[in-house]
Structure 1
Amino acid sequence: MERLEFGKLLLILPELNRFQLRALVKRVNGDLEKDDVNYVAEKRCDSLSACPHCDYKAFVRWGHSGEQQRFKCKQCHRTFNEFTATPFARLKHRGKRLARYAQCMMEGLSLRQSAERCDMNLATSFHWRHRFLRQPECHRASTLGGIVEADEAFFRESFKGKRNITHRQPRKHGRPGRDGANPLIPVLLLLDRYEREADFVLSTNSLDEITPCFSGRIKTDSVLCTDGSSLYPSIAEGEGLHHRPVPIGTPGRTKGGGAFHIQTLNNYISRLRSWLQRFRGVGTEYLSNYLGWWRIVTQRKLETSRAWLEEGMLT
């Protein structure tokens, strides 16, 4: 549109009634959301270097499906588009809702709030959320260095959303079972002073389960700070790390204790628990997804829906 025509359009706006303005805003927002999706799809299309099915590098353009460019591999002869092999493959109404749902993820809205904003079913909202949460798993730190803090956090076992629980009686309103048992799921967290983090959902906090989580992940010249648990000395020795235990009750544990402490990790866990409260319980089956979501919130700090889309498609 020419500049003069755009100026005329702006002059007409005061003449519109509120219903017309709302319709205009809805149309403009829809076009902006669609533009975000198209922008990310085009970047993904430009970055394609091999077939996502067989990794063969020779492929040709193969027509369109709707507004999407399709390609065909010269080796396996399968077709694909820019969404293939991404968390957003085979989703319907991507152009209308994907950017809007990315905004919901950025704001940390509940499933019901996201479903209402995006005009979708609650089950669809759940499905889309976990499509977005597939990618944060890839951002777990592979290498930690310097002063690395390690500790376990425990979360109550939850079968939220399950219609049938076979191995025990369901607890009413989150109360402990009749036998007084209150199963807790351990999560091992490793955090260095550069805010790089790795977390692992465990079945038990035993040496056999914790040891593989450390394997080659921490640089050998690093210092491992832990609480007084008896599990970590042997792990540190096996990994060639300097170990500085800080047991509960140690003088100066929180103040004046120097550089060797685990308060940075304790603060991280405290903020994580506060953030999880908005979801009123997280199913144990999806706990690792939510840990990845929190990792994205604290480390990547994505501030636009387009950035969330790029995170899911281009990384």
Structure 2
Amino acid sequence: MKTPRFKSLLARLPLLNGPQRRQVLDALHPATGLDQVVALIDRVRAPARCCPSCGGAHCHRHGVANDLQRFRCCACGRTFNDLSGTPLARLRLKGKWLEYSQALLDSLAVRKAADRIGVHRNTAFRWRHRFLNWVKFDRPPSLNGIVEADETFLLESQKGSRKLDRPARRRGGHAGKRGISGELDCILVARDRHGNTIDAVAGRGALTAAQLERDLLPKLDRQALLVSDGNAAYRAFSRKHKIAHEAVNLRAGVRVRRRDNLAIHVQNVNSYHQRFKTWLLGFRGVASRYLPNYLGWRWALDGGRVKSAEQLFGIAVGRTNR
């Protein structure tokens, strides 16, 4: 719209009655959301903007498409926008992304989130795992001081799969074998006394020292004191890598014991397990292949670490997959 016509339209806005003003606001609301999302994408991506093909940082503007500025890489000649190479590339309805980020912060189920923002439930499910794709990697660089580590188990689930590699069972069923077996997903959680947390789906069945080397060792400060239960895998892992280790004999009823002025226990990490499992109940079961996303989602919410939809959205688009 040209400027004289826009000024004429703007001057007539005070003549609108109440219902008409509400209709105008409703019509402008999607555009307002879109403008917020585009501005946020530019602010998050501008400091580290680079070509997703070659990683080159030298580029120039190259037109606009789908409401986003496009760029051309001066090194390889490829064109891209700020969402290229991110999990949100090629997704539509950008004006509703911040609303959906708030739905994630509110831990809404798929159908409730779809109803709130006005999209199909399949879209809401697809957005959930696209948004959480990078959120699950937003972790502390290391764990220091006293580090509590313990594993918890969830029944393996193939929810949503078209083909099963085992006989079907009722939702919320039980494992066919007693104790810790290959029917259970092993979730390792390590947490220091500052609240920094890392977690991983270690595999199926009992935890092993090899899994600790893969999932815990890269994030564990070598001067840290590792505290665990009596699982032999922690003893073998600590002995091999010369890491200070203290065990709590939970089977004997020992919850807390003292070493000098230090309280030796795993209650912090066990409390985190409980919060995670209680939170999962609202989703009526989750597929095992998506567990890493839910672990990252829970870590973002724990203790109010991510406080706004803008912050969550910034994490979701803050990295480039080259």
Length-normalised TM-score, structure 1 = 0.87
SS in 2 for 1:139: coil
Pairs within 5 Å for 1:157-168? 157-165=156-164, 167-168=165-166
SS in 1 for 2:250: coil
Match of 2:274 in 1: 270
Match of 1:171 in 2: 169
Is residue 284 of structure 2 the alignment partner of residue 280 of structure 1?
Answer: yes
RMSD over equivalenced CA pairs, Å: 2.8
Determine the C-alpha separation between the residues in 2 that align with 1:105 and 1:278.
Answer: 13
Checking the alignment, whether the CA contact within 8 Å between 2:147 and 2:191 is kept in structure 1 is yes
Amino acid at match of 2:198: A
- Once the two structures are superposed, what CA deviation does each residue of 1:7-42 show, in whole Å capped at 9, x if it has no partner? x97x878x514xx46535534543442232022122
Distance 1:287 1:255, change over 3 A: same
Match of 2:5 in 1: none
How much does 1:268 deviate? 0.8
Checking the alignment, whether the CA contact within 8 Å between 2:256 and 2:264 is kept in structure 1 is no
Match of 2:106 in 1: 107
Checking the alignment, whether the CA contact within 8 Å between 1:170 and 1:177 is kept in structure 2 is no
Is residue 304 of structure 2 the alignment partner of residue 292 of structure 1?
Answer: no
How much does 1:242 deviate? 1.3
Task: Identify unmatched segments of 5+ residues in structure 1.
Answer: 1-5
How much does 1:118 deviate? 2.1
Determine the C-alpha separation between the residues in 1 that align with 2:91 and 2:306.
Answer: 23
Checking the alignment, whether the CA contact within 8 Å between 1:190 and 1:198 is kept in structure 2 is yes
Distance 1:227 1:38, change over 3 A: same
SS in 2 for 1:138: coil
Pairs within 5 Å for 1:1-315? 15-17=17-19, 20=20, 23-27=23-27, 29-94=29-94, 96-165=95-164, 167-176=165-174, 183-203=183-203, 204=205, 205-250=207-252, 253-254=255-256, 259-298=263-302, 301-314=305-318
Checking the alignment, whether the CA contact within 8 Å between 1:36 and 1:306 is kept in structure 2 is no
- Once the two structures are superposed, what CA deviation does each residue of 1:42-99 show, in whole Å capped at 9, x if it has no partner? 21453244322101232221111143211111222110011112221111121x2111
Aligned residues: 305
Amino acid at match of 2:265: H
Amino acid at match of 1:290: Y
How much does 1:190 deviate? 0.8
SS in 2 for 1:259: strand
| Bigger shift: residues 45-54 or 60-69 | 45-54
SS in 2 for 1:46: helix
Determine the C-alpha separation between the residues in 2 that align with 1:125 and 1:293.
Answer: 15
Checking the alignment, whether the CA contact within 8 Å between 2:258 and 2:264 is kept in structure 1 is no
How much does 1:142 deviate? 3.3
SS in 2 for 1:133: helix
Task: Identify unmatched segments of 5+ residues in structure 2.
Answer: 1-9
How much does 1:314 deviate? 2.6
SS in 1 for 2:189: strand
How much does 1:259 deviate? 1.5
Match of 1:3 in 2: none
Amino acid at match of 1:80: F
Determine the C-alpha separation between the residues in 1 that align with 2:235 and 2:257.
Answer: 24
Checking the alignment, whether the CA contact within 8 Å between 1:171 and 1:177 is kept in structure 2 is no
Determine the C-alpha separation between the residues in 1 that align with 2:75 and 2:31.
Answer: 38
Determine the C-alpha separation between the residues in 1 that align with 2:305 and 2:109.
Answer: 19
Determine the C-alpha separation between the residues in 2 that align with 1:237 and 1:295.
Answer: 30
- Once the two structures are superposed, what CA deviation does each residue of 1:120-155 show, in whole Å capped at 9, x if it has no partner? 222111111001111122223331110000110101
Length-normalised TM-score, structure 2 = 0.85
